[in-house]
Structure 1
Amino acid sequence: MPFQKKCPLCSAKMGKVNGVLTCPDCGYNESFGRSSYTTTSTGTTADTGESSRARYQSSNTGQGSTASGAASAQNLRPYEQYLNQQQYNASTPSFAEITAQRRERYGDERPKSNSKILIICAALLIVFLTILIPLVMRFFTASANRYHTASKEDTDNRRAGGYTADDNAYDDTQPIQETAAITVPQSEFFAQMMCFIFEKDSSALTADDSEQLVSLRIYEAGYDYMAVDYVLSDGTGGTVYPASQKCDMSEDLTCFVNLEELYLEEAFYGNLNLDGLDKLHTLYYDGYISDIENAVNPSQLTELGLYDVKFSISDLSAFTNVERLYIDCGMLSDVSGILDLPNLKHLTIEDGDYIDDLSALYQATQLESLSIESNSLRDVSFLTKFDNLKELTIVGSKVLDFNPLAACTGLEKLYLLKNYETADYEFVKDLTGLREFGLMTSFDFDDSDMPDLSALSNVTKLYLGNFESFGNLKYMTNVEELTIDDGGYGDFGSTNALLSLPNLRSLSVINSSVSPEMIQQISEAEGLEYLDFYSSYLWSGIHPIINMPNLEELHLEYTSFMIDPDSIAANERLRLLDMNNSQIYKYSTDQWSDREDIDVEALQSALANLHGMEELMLEDLTINSVEFAAQMKNLKLLNITDNYVTSLAPLKELEKLQAVVCESNPISDTAGLDAIMIK
């Protein structure tokens, strides 16, 4: 906007009248102030740039107006009379006199009234509204008629408006949503997802492809990059990493008309539109409950997951058919909303330390499974009234006595973890029907052996925490999955109890000190397919583990271990290796000797033998080249964050590659990788 000069007397914005800047409020104009000189009490001096207002004010020695000025003042406005009184030199025409003379010669120079213009504008506005309002009313009336006609003919039973909390009836006050016509994704994110799943170009995608998806989980896999887990109608599934990281939920989900399960975890997706997904029965969502009510018929959901819930879940009454409810509590303090779910059978409450009232939980006697993490829980006797209870998990409570659970003979799954106010778990031996059991207690230096659980012969999934020796595992021959958390420097007994577990496929030894004997015993369990040493300290080399014949996944995040690169054999079986933030040392037969960092070139040479890799994570390992990955033909994801790689060119021939996570690298060459996510 151009600069507008202000009046030096009243500060109003001035406008031109007959080519002269004139104040519309007080009448001052620039013709008077353009003189290069101004008069003061001491005579005539050069203009030094002082303010215009100062030029028209006298000193205390100024005299009154001349006679002619007084005569002229009879026609002056009040402000002109005031200025006239301030003049101090009778020989100099006053501002008031000059103004009166100009008015007599040129007429009143003030802008004329704009009232006529305002009247014309008001008349035009009235005419415009008179025409517009009837048109708008006819439009909405016609839309409403079309909607009710379609409802009567039952041509579209999809939800068009919002559901009321009382009766789930259509609410005509909500905006009417048109049924989506698209059959394949339009956004870049979902189009790339489909291309990776069906291994075809976006132009070749069809409605039949969209209809094959029955389950989707969209989440942040790490470092702000998105991943999608999927399941197709034939039962096959996997994980893909779209190059586009802008996940737009507004329309594309409506393509997947056979979708039954949708997990939207801890990410922002914009407007949620699930119109037409009539088979959807499971929804996990990181957002407001009202968003879900506006996106889908609440009564069709049987499983609901809510992340980071604030304060209350009192608005669940519309979800009348929900049988499974997952709540990541955040700041939740009240769980009374569960009483509005008459069909609730399975309840999970995580991070519930802010809950101050569990009375509603005591009344939910119909529950078949309960998982609760809350230090507000101090008693379990109320659970004896839960006649249908089959699964129970209690984490981080302040319960003093778990013995009442001995009466819950119908339990099939029981996890009691980090409940450090008690150490008496003898009652567990009476629960012979258990198929899954987990126990993590305070570490006892005098008795660090795992308890005798031979009575639990039917257990297939076992979790043990804060124990050191695990020889008693030999009596639990049906175990398929075993987790050891915070274990001491121990082993599996002199006979290697792992060899007594013929069905063992998954083993996790996390947050533990792993002795050379235990590493050797694990390597002998050749049936293992999954191994996790997260945040553990291994006192020997990892190479016997990497060479296990059936191992498919190996997790070594934040793990300290030694490795002999020359001992890594060619491996087509291992498909996932996670070494993020590990401490890797040269192999030494002396476990007590000072450790030396592995030579990075030797490490990269060893990695080159892992030809079957699909997902490889190597964050912060001083890697300086990705040449080792050039022959990993099945590689989909490579994470080399915080390393020293300068070129990704060796990866350009990998046809299945979907994502390279490479933050904090001095990369200057990404030629040939335009179609994949580089982040």
Structure 2
Amino acid sequence: DKDLMEDQTDTQEAQNSDAKSDQDAPFKAFSSLEHLSVSVSDLDADGLLFLRSFPKLQSLHLSIFEDDKTVLDLSPLSTLSSCTDLSIEGPYEKPVKNIAVLSGMPQIESLRLSQLQNLKDLNFVKNMPNLKSLTLKQVPILNLDGLKGHLSLNSLDINCSSLEDVSVLPTLSSLQRLQLNYHTYDIPDLHSLHALKEIDIYEWDRKQVAHMPSIQKLVMNNYIMEYSASFMKGMKALSDLTIYGSGISGQTDPDLGSVLHELPSLAKLTYIGTPFNRYGDYGLAYAGTGAKEIIVKPPLGDSTSVNNPLVPVSLKKMKDDHTVESLTLNKATIINVDNESQNFSENAGSFLPHFKSLKKLVLSGDKLENLDCIKGLKNLEELDISDNYVSDLTPLLDLPHLKKVNIAGNPIANREVLPSTIEVLP
């Protein structure tokens, strides 16, 4: 009887081994795979067991779709001992099993977690000593306590509507990048974070980062109130500034221009949507800032004209600029606050000549009717006038350095006048 039982056990083990071999067979050719992005739904009982076939996997992006039949078990993630870059996007309306597996992955360096209904705390991070980058999107955590004092974390991106307490942020001494999407919680003072270089915040957070000399990249999201730009004074390392505005509320005061002129490292300005008061003079926020690139554009994915950007300036007081080499005005309206004129072609003719060093100019979707506004831009090398109403290209012949022009979406009548030395798109 004993021998019979041993034979049966051996037979069962052999069958299990064969079954595993059969399940893994389709993946054998990919056993050396290092990077995998996969979407899963309607899985059978084996779930994510196929991951054991990829022992060398370094990066995994896992998207989980709603499955009424099974609850996905994350425990097979424990087999990925070489994985340092992990992204999990869950089905928010349904929990996943064994999310605690994250506590057993100390090798993780970059982690992105999205829509995981039963992720209620970040205590697992204490077992990830090498974690450098963490992104949290719509996970139902209430606080960031699990991150307290984490030494290796240098990038944190949070978009969680349930979050109430971020008081541990000042304990993240290695933090270099911080992005906080729309929130109602209070941010603590961040001046102790001497390594902080990049931050994305809202207007009501500005006091917590005011005058910080380490900030190199700042994204300001305007929302409700009008505010002075004086909090940026002293940001000597600031090279890249983005100001985002939506609607008619939440605007940066016209003192922005004078503040920008005091920032010695400024190289790039991006104005998205409607961050400015349409009746104010923001000429100094465009000319003489020291920036080499200025971008004015609507919010990404906004198909309406409600948030198309406004450029309110006094054309009588406008000063010359000698540093801007690249200027983008996408679906923009130049408002001459001297007479409230909004005719783009006319106002651009007075606005653009002030930029003496311009090499690249984008005027896309601006209701431009002619090219009179580019006269005198002798240094221009690249021009984009796509999606306008221009028919005559002859003014381009007066631009001796022009190498490339995009004329898509215009009723051009004389394309053939351009010499072969100019690349024409499309």
Structure 1 length normalisation: TM-score?
0.47
Look at both structures and tell me which one has the larger radius of gyration over its CA atoms: 1
Deviation of 1:651 (Å): 2.9
Q: CA RMSD in A?
A: 3.7
Partner of 1:533: 271
Is the 2:261–2:290 contact (alpha carbons within 8 Å) kept by the matching residues of 1?
no
Deviation of 1:585 (Å): 1.7
Is the 1:403–1:427 contact (alpha carbons within 8 Å) kept by the matching residues of 2?
yes
Secondary structure at 1:601's aligned position in 2? Answer: helix
Unaligned runs of 5+ in 1: 1-162, 170-297, 589-593
Is the 1:470–1:492 contact (alpha carbons within 8 Å) kept by the matching residues of 2?
no
Q: Does 1:426 align with 2:180?
A: no
Distance 1:439 1:628 in 2: 40
Distance 1:354-1:620 versus aligned 2 partners, 3 A rule: farther
Query: Which residue among 175, 197, 200 is the counterpart of 1:460?
Result: 197
Is the 1:636–1:656 contact (alpha carbons within 8 Å) kept by the matching residues of 2?
yes
Unaligned runs of 5+ in 2: 1-24, 42-47, 299-308
Q: Which amino acid aligns with 1:499?
A: K
Is the 1:370–1:392 contact (alpha carbons within 8 Å) kept by the matching residues of 2?
yes
Distance 1:536-1:668 versus aligned 2 partners, 3 A rule: same
Q: Which amino acid aligns with 1:477?
A: P
Q: Does 1:647 align with 2:382?
A: no
Partner of 2:20: none
Instruction: Map residues 396-407 of structure 1 onto 2, 5 A cutoff.
Output: 396-406=138-148
Secondary structure at 2:297's aligned position in 1? Answer: coil
Partner of 1:394: 136
Instruction: Map residues 496-645 of structure 1 onto 2, 5 A cutoff.
Output: 496-511=230-245, 513-527=250-264, 528-539=266-277, 540-558=280-298, 559-588=309-338, 595-598=340-343, 600-629=345-374, 631-641=377-387, 643-645=388-390
Query: Which residue among 196, 209, 216 is the counterpart of 1:473?
Result: 209
Q: Deviations over 1:443-487 (max 9, x none)?
A: 47xx7xx6311222321222213x436234346321111112244
Is the 1:492–1:521 contact (alpha carbons within 8 Å) kept by the matching residues of 2?
no
Is the 1:346–1:370 contact (alpha carbons within 8 Å) kept by the matching residues of 2?
yes
Distance 1:311-1:168 versus aligned 2 partners, 3 A rule: closer
Distance 2:114 2:378 in 1: 42
Distance 1:368 1:426 in 2: 23
Q: Which amino acid aligns with 1:536?
A: T
Distance 1:355-1:463 versus aligned 2 partners, 3 A rule: farther
Distance 2:77 2:255 in 1: 46
Distance 1:658-1:502 versus aligned 2 partners, 3 A rule: same
Q: Which amino acid aligns with 1:461?
A: E
Instruction: Map residues 183-262 of structure 1 onto 2, 5 A cutoff.
Output: none
Deviation of 1:421 (Å): 1.0
Query: Which residue among 124, 127, 130 is the counterpart of 1:385?
Result: 127
Distance 1:350 1:556 in 2: 33
Distance 1:335-1:347 versus aligned 2 partners, 3 A rule: farther
Q: Does 1:676 align with 2:423?
A: yes
Distance 1:349-1:597 versus aligned 2 partners, 3 A rule: farther
Q: Which amino acid aligns with 2:391?
A: T
Distance 1:489-1:554 versus aligned 2 partners, 3 A rule: farther
Distance 1:318-1:600 versus aligned 2 partners, 3 A rule: farther
Distance 2:143 2:245 in 1: 27
Deviation of 1:566 (Å): 4.1
Secondary structure at 1:667's aligned position in 2? Answer: coil
Secondary structure at 1:424's aligned position in 2? Answer: coil
Is the 1:468–1:491 contact (alpha carbons within 8 Å) kept by the matching residues of 2?
no
Distance 1:356-1:555 versus aligned 2 partners, 3 A rule: farther
Distance 1:632-1:344 versus aligned 2 partners, 3 A rule: farther
Q: Which amino acid aligns with 1:405?
A: L
Higher relative contact order (CA 8 A, sep 6+): 2
Q: Does 1:345 align with 2:84?
A: yes
Distance 1:359-1:485 versus aligned 2 partners, 3 A rule: farther
Distance 1:381-1:368 versus aligned 2 partners, 3 A rule: same
Is the 1:469–1:491 contact (alpha carbons within 8 Å) kept by the matching residues of 2?
no
Q: How many residues end up aligned between the 2 structures?
A: 368
Deviation of 1:380 (Å): 2.2
Partner of 2:40: 311
Distance 1:536-1:349 versus aligned 2 partners, 3 A rule: farther
Is the 1:578–1:617 contact (alpha carbons within 8 Å) kept by the matching residues of 2?
yes
Query: Which residue among 297, 308, 323 is the counterpart of 2:58?
Result: 323
Q: Does 1:166 align with 2:4?
A: no
Deviation of 1:544 (Å): 0.7
